[in-house]
Amino acid sequence: MEDLSKIGSFALLGEADPVPQSLLLSHPEQANTLALLYEVSREVTSILDREELLRRVAERVKKIVNYDVFSVMLWNEQTQLLESAFAMCATDSIAARLRIPLHRGLTGTAAGERRVLRINDVTEDPRYIRCETGVEARSELVVPLLMQDRLIGVLDLESAAPHAFTLEHERMLSTLGSYVAIALENARLFEEAKENERRMRTELDTAREIQRQLLPTGAREVPGLDLAAGYVPARELGGDFYDFLPYGQGRLGFMLGDVSGKGTAAALYGSLAIGTVREIVVDHACEQTHARQRRRTVSPPGPQRSGAGHLPGRRAARPHSRYRIR
């Protein structure tokens, strides 16, 4: 097999470029491999669902390397562990439950040292950790998935045959690994954006329900007054609140507030403001009632009423309903 260093200038860097026609003529075998890598790189970077992405990568890699087990482990910053994300034996997915720290086992060593490990016979390597995959592995190829120097995970291939992986396989998968790392990061960011959108939608629904419970269901009926109010948010959720509050005989208050923000926190702050004002109004009305009762108790008896209960020499007052709106 020819030395691949002769075509090193055609390695995929950044945006993948099609394989030049001159290379197809001079190095047909290597050119076909690069053409397949170009096709894979263009395809995987457009898939945003992680499960679908890894399945497609496994299928495409099978055309380049004859493996028995394909698995991907992703680096978890919180747990500081490599965690199995996907595993496939032949064409069937298998359970993936492995969690490994850096520098332990072949996968942890490759991730910790940021370099490819190609083991011709795992039975002779003390770092090898056997996994329940249904395949008695003899050789293994582990490729770290990096973005610049940031660890994304590892791509791990196993074969039941010793010496199954070559230097050419190592170079090809190292090239492909950079695109897989980018694709995985895109998928992670996409899922994170979807989760943030779901959380924001839930918060908006909660805040909208809080507002609906707080705002008056209709205009308050007050004798002698015609009241009307409307509430239309500029977007999905408004930041204003209002209420009509009777706070004494012949008195009606109108409250209008504006809370900074449009989320659940703003709605809860609005509920606190409305609840506080309503409590004050109730206490104020109770104090006025008690004051009137005390005045009636201590007031000296008035002149004797006559006739139909009116004071002598005075005309009966006309009933009225007058509110002062403040």
Can you give the CATH number for the domain in which 162 is found?
Answer: 3.30.450.40
Q: Is residue 302 part of a domain?
A: no
In angstroms, the CA 190 to CA 198 distance is 12
Q: Are residues 229 and 188 in the same domain?
A: no
Q: Is residue 126 part of a domain?
A: yes
- Per the structure block, which two tokens stand in for 40? 């894979």
* Residue 231, domain extent: 216-297
Q: Are residues 110 and 255 in the same domain?
A: no
Asked whether the CA dihedral 191, 51, 37, 155 is positive or negative, the reply is: positive
3-state secondary structure of 57: helix
- Give the chain's domain count: 2
Q: Are residues 182 and 43 in the same domain?
A: yes
pLDDT of res. 52: 87
Q: Are residues 132 and 253 in the same domain?
A: no
Q: Are residues 24 and 102 in the same domain?
A: yes
User: Would the pTM count as exceeding 0.75?
Assistant: no
pLDDT of res. 322: 46
pLDDT of res. 262: 65
Q: Is residue 284 part of a domain?
A: yes
Q: Is residue 273 part of a domain?
A: yes
- In Å, what is the CA distance from 82 to each residue of 76, 89, 144, 230? 6, 20, 11, 56
pLDDT of res. 308: 43
> What string of pLDDT tens digits covers the 326 residues of the chain?
344 444 343 333 344 455 455 544 445 566 666 777 777 777 777 788 888 888 888 888 888 888 999 999 999 999 999 999 898 886 566 666 789 999 999 999 999 999 999 999 999 999 998 887 778 899 999 999 998 889 999 999 999 999 999 998 998 888 888 888 988 888 888 888 888 888 888 877 877 777 777 777 666 677 777 777 777 766 666 667 777 777 767 777 777 787 776 667 777 777 778 778 777 776 665 555 555 556 555 555 555 544 444 444 444 444 444 444 45
Q: Is residue 254 part of a domain?
A: yes
Q: Are residues 81 and 131 in the same domain?
A: yes
pLDDT of res. 234: 62
pLDDT of res. 207: 74
Q: Is residue 311 part of a domain?
A: no
Q: Which DSSP symbol is given to 5?
A: G
Q: Are residues 251 and 164 in the same domain?
A: no
Q: Are residues 221 and 163 in the same domain?
A: no
Q: Which DSSP symbol is given to 237?
A: S
Q: Is residue 209 part of a domain?
A: no
Q: Are residues 136 and 232 in the same domain?
A: no
pLDDT of res. 53: 87
Q: Are residues 125 and 11 in the same domain?
A: yes
Q: Are residues 269 and 150 in the same domain?
A: no
Q: Are residues 26 and 157 in the same domain?
A: yes
Q: Is residue 324 part of a domain?
A: no
